Structures are given as C-alpha cells and as structure tokens.
Structure 1
Amino acid sequence: MSAATKLPYYDASKVREKASGRWLEIFAYLAYEEFGEAIQKPKKHHTCPIHGTRNKSGKGDGFKFFKDVVDSGGGVCNTCGPFPDGFRLLQEVKGWDFRTTLAHVAEFVGVKSEQEEREAKKSSRSSTSKPAPTQPQSTTASQSGGVVPISPQVNQVEPSAHDVSKFAPTPERMEEIKKLQEQIAKRQAQASAEAQEQIDRIWRESIPLNNGIPGPLYKYLQKRAVLLRLEVLLEGDNIRFHRELPYYDEDDDGKVIVVGKFPAMIAAIRDLKGNIITLHRTYLTPRGAKANVECPRKMMAVPDDKTVTGCAIQLGGFPTDGVIGVAEGYETAASPLRVYGIPTWSCVSASILEQFEPPKGVHTVIGWEDKDRSLRGELAMQALKVNLEEKGIRFIRMPIRRKIPTGAKSIDWNDVLVKEGIIGMPAYNQLMKVIQGG
C-alpha cells in the first residue's frame, strides 16, 4: 500500500476555508526552507523555489506571491507559470501529492479528518450512557504561536516524508509572520479596488478595432500568422489596442518603476455572462515585435470579488453548432480559429485551462495542446478532459507530434503555423470527420 492510501480523508473544502487568511503561516511552518525569503518580503520577486534560478541579469524576478497570497496561497514564476493556490505550490516545491498536502495543511489549521469527525459524533452520542475515556489535550494554534504539531495519525504514513517541523521557524518568527499577513490582508482590500479601477481605465483607454487594426497590432498578428478577418476580431469586443501602455517593473530595492510606454494588444478575459474579469496585455514595438521587456505578455490582477476560473479570451464569439476549441495562449487559440473558423477560446495559462467551462449548448471541445518539456500542457489537457467528460461533454485532444526545438522550453500550434503554414495543421477534412464522430 502506498503512503498516500494510508492517509486519513479530509474534506478539501473545509481545509481550504480554514486555510484562507493564513497561508503565510502555513508556508512558514511547512516549507520555510523554500519560501522563507519570499515570506519575509512577499511584495518582491525572489529566486524561484521550484526551478531555483534567477534571470540572466541576476535580478530575483523568478518567483513572487500573488497579492492575495494570504487568502489564496498562490504565486507565479516567469518560468514555471502561475500556481493558483497554496496547495498547488506546496505540491510543486515539496513533491507531495494532493492528499499528502491536504493532510499537512489540515493539521496546521486544525481541521479533523472525516474519520475523526465520525468518531467524535459517535462518542458524543454514547457519552450519555458511559463516560468517554480521557484523552491528552492537543495543542491549539494559539497556544503554540500558530504552529500545530504533526499528529501521530499522519505520522503513520512514511515519517520521513512528513517530517517538516525541522524547517519551521521559531515561535517568535511565526508571530512576526502572523502580524505580517494581517497587514497584507488590510492592504489587500485597497489593492483589489485599485486593480478594478486600473482594469476599467485601461479598457476605456484602449481603442476598439471598428475602424481597422492599428499598425503595430496588424504587424504583430501578421508575424504570428493569425491576422484574422476584421469581423472575427470584432466579435464580442474582446481585442483592443493601447497606444502607450506603461510597463512596470521593480528596481533592486523592490520599488515599482515605469520602464517605458509601449503599444499593446489588450485582450478581455470574460466570464460566460460576458463580464470582463481582468485583462491580458501583450507589449509590442512599433514594428510589431514583442517589446524588449522582462515579461511582454502579462495578465492583470484579478479583483478579490472575482475569479478567472472558467473564464477565457472568447475568440470567435460563442459557438452556434455545439463545437468549441480551447487553448492556452492567445496566438495558439487564434491559429485553429484562422484555419478552421471554429470559435477557439484562450485561457491564457495552463492553470486556468484546467478549469475551463464551455458555454451552454456545447457538446464537443477541441483541446489544442501545448507541448512543454515540463509536460505542463499535456497534464492540463488531461485534467480538462476528465472535468469535461464527467459533465458528459466530448473532448478531442490535439497534441503536437513534433519534437521541441533545441534550446526551447515548448512548442505550440502557433509555432507550427508560423513555421509550416496551414499545411502543418491537421487536414480540414480529417478534423471535421473526427468532430462528426467518424
């Protein structure tokens, strides 16, 4: 029997609820060795605890916690991509499966396993007939400075895999971290309001494409072989152009500075009701190349009262025949849209892709898969396949049957289209045959 199967069962929703508001404490206790630097200065970029490197300039821009880290536990690395919550981050840095991660977090926040809950109820019902045996009193989080020891029950599972207490900071440091996350929580409400204001302002400043495609954007889409017909780009008002969008970065002291102003493609990430949740920005040069900045493609922050789960850049509008495509990046989604004319939505990242929710009436989803050395794109599509098929929706996976180029981290369908042209894409008749179940 594997270690995971010996673990008690915890209700993930209960653990998630209890963990909200305490993720810095959780990281400090379970993974201080990996996250210590980032915990002390959560607003700055740091060496990534996953791939462990900084960029070529030596500046620590590999990893940074999300602004709502206290509640979500999420973070992002410019190389590894985003991790939507603390469970995913701990799984990645500790090498644990989900059940192991859930057990550790549950113990710290004081959530009992379902078995313990049942036994407690049984004991309570029988207490009227006979006295319950005396049990040693467990230490609460408040009594131990926020640290809840790993319980004997979980120590039944591979002690070496669960011996994380040696990495925990001192009780004094835990108290400092607790105060720090309280301060972050207060700032978070203000940051959320500012994020919404910035989203509204940038979208308002951006130019709709009703009168044509501005030069830098036209050249960029042309270079990426996804220069769609104007009526397709106009569908749903999902793509706009900003003439001078500021690009922000941090100096060595963590101070936010404006690197410059660039033309940019602005894409609306909408929910199924059509509401804009946040924006995705692609910074460009006047000649249509990606701007020479650290991260030319960025998603804006998501306000606290919203979520990107199930959202996408809705390229091609809503499907009318029950068939829709889905991909990670904008250019990847625009590639099959251009070739086949099937609405194909961009989820921006693998994490959002896994939770993709097609609109009502969709019976078939075509997944245009990225091929990554890390296998992230493949794993995201596998997760999406499971999610959709559980809902009775047919899923057609479109993997890339080519080697990743030497020196590259990945290859996507837009790379195929740019290099090989339409002939490199699956034949139209073959794809239609698969869609029709042939």
Structure 2
Amino acid sequence: MSINADTIRAAAQHRWHGILTALGVPSESLRNQHQPCPACGGIDRFRFDDKDGRGTFICSHYGNGGGDGFHLVMHLLDCDFATALIHVAGVLGLIDAAPKAEIAIKAEKKPTERIQDKQVKLVSLWGKSQSMSKIDPIAAYLRGRGLEAEDDLPQMIRYAELPYWVQLADGKFKPIGRHPVMLAAICNLDGEIQGLHQTYLKAAWVKPMGDNGHHTPTFSKLNIHHPETGEEMPAKKMQSRHSGSLKGAAVQLYPMDEQGRLCVAEGIETALAAHELFALPVWACLSANGMKSLVLPDGLQELLIVADHDSPSPVGYEAAHSLAVRAIKQGIKVRIWQPEEENTDALDELNRRKRPAWAITQQLKAV
C-alpha cells in the first residue's frame, strides 16, 4: 500500500514525541533545552523544540543546523527521506510494520575517543574574510537593527560571502546561492578560535530620495526555504572546532578595559546594543547556556550582566544569576541589568530610547 508524504506528514503532526520514543529515542532527550544529541552526541548541541507539532529540532552538527521530525529520523538512522517516511508511517500504523529501527543513542564523547578538530578549516575561513567596515553589508544590517556601526567597529566580526548549504533527502549537500555573511569568531581566553557564528544576510533596495537619488541597499537576515520540503531554514548557523569546544568561549567584541570592567550579553546584536547603552566593553555569549558556562578573564574587577527579559520562563535572568553567583565567589563586583518590559532585550531597549517620544519623556521628568 502506497501512502504519499503529505499524508504521513499530516498524521505525524503533534505526535512526534511518541513517534521518536517508539523508534528508540529516550524521552529525556526530547526536551527543549541544550543537551547531547541522541544521534551524534556532544554535550549541548541539541534541542528538541517541536514547533507547531512538526518535531523540529536544533543540532549544531547536523547539516542544516536542524529540521523537522523527518530530518531527525534521517539523522538518527543515517537514512534518506524515503526511508524515514517508511519508519514514521510504520509507527503510525499507516503501513505494515516497518523494518526495525536500530538507533545507537550517542552519549557525551569519552576522552579516549578521537575528536575531529576543525580548527584549520575555521582559521582558514576566518583568514579569508574581510575586516568589517562601515560601508559593507554587515554595517548596513546592524544600522537597520538600530545600531550605530560607524566608528569603533569590533574586530571579532568580519564580512564574507558564503554558500548556504542544505542537506537533501538523499543525504547529499547542496549549496543554495552565495550570500553576505556576518562572521563572528568565538574564542577562548587564549584567543584561539573555537567556532564561527554565521548570520546570513539578504539585500533589499530602498527607493531613492530626491531627483538625483541613488538606490540604497539595506540588509536583513536571510529568508530561505528548503528546496524539497519548503520549510524555513535558519539564517544563523554555527560551526564549532570540535564537540564541546564552545563551552566557556564567547565572541569577544571589545576587550576588557584597563579598569578591569566588562559587560556580557547573549546575542551579538544584543551585546552591541549593550555597548551603546552602557559604554562598556562587551562580549556575546550567544545563548543562555553560553552565559552560564562563560569562562571569565583574569583581572576582571567589575562585571555587568545584561539579561534578556524572557517570559513566561525567565531563562535569560536565570542564566545571568548563575553567572553572577559564580563571579561573586571569585571576588568580582557584579550587577545584573535587564529591560523592564517582558520579552525584550537590550537592543529593544536601545531602540526605544532612540525614539523621539522617549527623549521628550525624559525631558519632562527632569522639569
């Protein structure tokens, strides 16, 4: 009996937890928090977020950086899309029993296992990129987000043009065009690259102003879809040197100052906004877990932790508090700041303060 992919996809929606556990994935692996990937191991590379009941997941070592439940089955069984369909349909009872899936659940890599080190590849890619300038697509993108991006540009962000790779149903990888990329180096305290954060961008064109105006390109995050499934692909990707190399590392946008002061935030854009708000050197930890595990530099005297105001779950503040407790135990003076409004971050706050209405309100308060 033949059943098409759309029928299987519709039947699987909102049932992925049961499907995946039936295929041998431990229930504890199907949580929306960083953890080892049940397919390829690691430490914190995997999250199962199950958006819209589609079984979606994030794995920084998977070809596309993640995908839906069918991609997860492909990742787990090392099979193509057609085979994944058969296994899912079998679990759902849409066809006769599918061949038994044998999933070898991967745990954290043991020290005795050989670790594949991609440092040479990452350093080469970084070396071929261009230093950021105020006239390149990165600066245009950051200005479009409400940031200055004019002077004192961070050296840990560079510009590159790179292909966007996706994995097809047959397991092969295919590039979908070349795109402008904001490339950020993720380094340890010794300055060694432990990974690269890539934000893919797309150009948009603004109509000229005046009779003799020229079309001006602006840039935003790339909106791209998988050529086979049509699903939206992430504009941000991350490459790590090896499993676990990102733990404790950060994008060191501006080095700690002579007074031993430093500010840290989660995302790159959020960190740059914090730099404008507080006039302090800043590092981007890239995630709440990255903030929790951040290794603090020697000589640090004062630390400002800029937390995202997440709601209803205060993930950002909890990460900031965890880092603060650890820093205080090291004798560091710590402050935590987060915006008052729920579900906002430092970039939202910066843009709010740049609005004319905010300036007028501040003037009235001073009267």
Secondary structure of the residue aligned to 1:381 is: helix
**TM, length-normalised to structure 1:** 0.53
Residue 228 of structure 1 deviates from its aligned partner by 3.7
Q: 1: CA distance between counterparts of 2:39 and 2:48?
A: 18
> Which of 127, 148, 157 is 1:239 aligned to?
157
Q: 1:54 to 1:39 in 2, by over 3 A?
A: farther
1:300-348: CA deviation from partner (whole Å, max 9, x where unpaired): 12324x6222221112222211211000001111112123321011011
**Structure exhibiting the larger radius of gyration computed from Cα positions:** 1
Q: 1:31 — aligned with what?
A: 27
Q: 1:41 to 1:346 in 2, by over 3 A?
A: closer
> Which of 334, 337, 348 is 1:395 aligned to?
334
Residue 419 of structure 1 deviates from its aligned partner by 3.5
Secondary structure of the residue aligned to 2:283 is: strand
1:122-169: CA deviation from partner (whole Å, max 9, x where unpaired): xxxxxxxxxxxxxxxxxxxxxxxxxxxxxxxxxxxxxxxxxxxxxxxx
The residue identity in structure 1 corresponding to 2:157 is: I
Q: 2:129 — aligned with what?
A: 206
Q: 1:380 — aligned with what?
A: 319
Residue 197 of structure 1 deviates from its aligned partner by 3.9
Secondary structure of the residue aligned to 1:284 is: strand
Q: 2:255 — aligned with what?
A: 317
Secondary structure of the residue aligned to 2:202 is: coil
Q: 2:51 — aligned with what?
A: 53
> Identity percentage over the alignment?
26
Residue 289 of structure 1 deviates from its aligned partner by 0.9
> Which of 285, 289, 292 is 1:354 aligned to?
292
The more displaced of 273-282 and 412-421 is 412-421
The residue identity in structure 1 corresponding to 2:296 is: P
The answer to whether the 8 A contact 2:40-2:106 is kept is no
Higher normalized strand content (fraction of residues): 2
> Which of 204, 210, 217 is 2:138 aligned to?
217
The answer to whether the 8 A contact 2:265-2:274 is kept is no
Residue 201 of structure 1 deviates from its aligned partner by 2.8
Residue 411 (structure 1) aligned with residue 350 (structure 2): no
Secondary structure of the residue aligned to 2:177 is: strand
RMSD (Å), alpha carbons: 3.8
Higher normalized helix content (fraction of residues): 1
Residue 33 of structure 1 deviates from its aligned partner by 8.9
Q: 1: CA distance between counterparts of 2:178 and 2:137?
A: 14
The residue identity in structure 2 corresponding to 1:247 is: Y
Q: 2:222 — aligned with what?
A: 291
Q: 1: CA distance between counterparts of 2:29 and 2:242?
A: 30
The answer to whether the 8 A contact 1:278-1:302 is kept is yes
Residue 391 of structure 1 deviates from its aligned partner by 1.4
Secondary structure of the residue aligned to 2:252 is: coil
Secondary structure of the residue aligned to 2:240 is: coil
Q: 2: CA distance between counterparts of 1:222 and 1:292?
A: 19
The residue identity in structure 2 corresponding to 1:31 is: S
Q: 1:302 to 1:78 in 2, by over 3 A?
A: farther
Q: 2: CA distance between counterparts of 1:66 and 1:206?
A: 22
Q: 2: CA distance between counterparts of 1:66 and 1:298?
A: 7
> Which of 243, 262, 268 is 2:179 aligned to?
262
Secondary structure of the residue aligned to 2:258 is: coil
1:356-403: CA deviation from partner (whole Å, max 9, x where unpaired): 222221121101110122321111111111211121212101021113
Matches within 5 A, 1:336-351: 336-351=274-289
The answer to whether the 8 A contact 2:186-2:193 is kept is yes
Q: 2: CA distance between counterparts of 1:302 and 1:343?
A: 25
Q: 1:300 to 1:66 in 2, by over 3 A?
A: closer
> Which of 193, 197, 209 is 1:276 aligned to?
193
Unaligned runs of 5+ in 1: 1-26, 69-75, 80-172, 404-409, 426-438
Q: 1:250 — aligned with what?
A: 167
Secondary structure of the residue aligned to 1:333 is: helix
Secondary structure of the residue aligned to 1:289 is: strand
**TM, length-normalised to structure 2:** 0.63
Residue 255 of structure 1 deviates from its aligned partner by 3.8
Q: 2: CA distance between counterparts of 1:382 and 1:78?
A: 32
Residue 39 of structure 1 deviates from its aligned partner by 8.1
Matches within 5 A, 1:80-119: none
Q: 1:279 to 1:42 in 2, by over 3 A?
A: closer
The answer to whether the 8 A contact 2:61-2:239 is kept is no
> Which of 268, 272, 278 is 1:330 aligned to?
268
The residue identity in structure 2 corresponding to 1:418 is: N
Residue 268 of structure 1 deviates from its aligned partner by 0.9
Q: 1:240 to 1:39 in 2, by over 3 A?
A: closer
1:199-235: CA deviation from partner (whole Å, max 9, x where unpaired): 12321221013xx3343112111112222443x225x
Q: 1:310 to 1:39 in 2, by over 3 A?
A: closer
Q: 1:363 to 1:206 in 2, by over 3 A?
A: same
